[in-house]
Structure 1
Amino acid sequence: MVCDKCEKKLSKVIVPDKWKEGASNTTEGGGRKINENKLLSKKKRWSPYGNTKCTICKQQVHQDGKYCHTCAYSKGVCAMCGKQVLDTKLYKQSNV
């Protein structure tokens, strides 16, 4: 759960471009080289989970943020900035 301000910062899903014009996954126009080894050609490889960890449970976070989804919901805070989003005083939650 993220606040309205941080919703704009959410990263995009990596999906191949549908259209040929200006697409980065086509061979025309300098998009991609034929028989290119992606492991050797890229300097920094994209990792889906990154290196960020939750400040509470030390679990890896998939977005750039402070808290994982579970900790953010249980505390009622934004996962990215830590701003209070939800009042969880009357919620019945367990630690299991």
Structure 2
Amino acid sequence: MSEAPKPAETKTDKTPLLDVNGEPMHWLVRPTTIKLLWLGGIALLAFVTWLGTTVHPHVKFGIEGTLGFYSWYGFATCVAMVIFAKLLGVGLSKKDTYYDK
């Protein structure tokens, strides 16, 4: 006679995720928290962009009235600042042997 399949065992005590030092991970660096923060940020961005379609903008420049202007303008500005910082770092960096002279 064959045995009936055993139900899957469930753990009631969750062991915390550990970092490389064996200590519990901070809640902000856990994979589930990071995923929830990404989803929340995307939802907030979508909500704010939708909200921009419901409010009449008082624009001073023509481009300011486009759909999601503040969303894509903020993103483009952030990308431009990162690129500028990288180029500035290349221009200001010294060789590894600079202080050996």
Q: Give TM-score, length-normalised by structure 2.
A: 0.24
Between Structure 1 and Structure 2, which shows a larger proportion of helix residues?
A: 2
Larger Rg computed on CA atoms: 2
Q: Give TM-score, length-normalised by structure 1.
A: 0.24
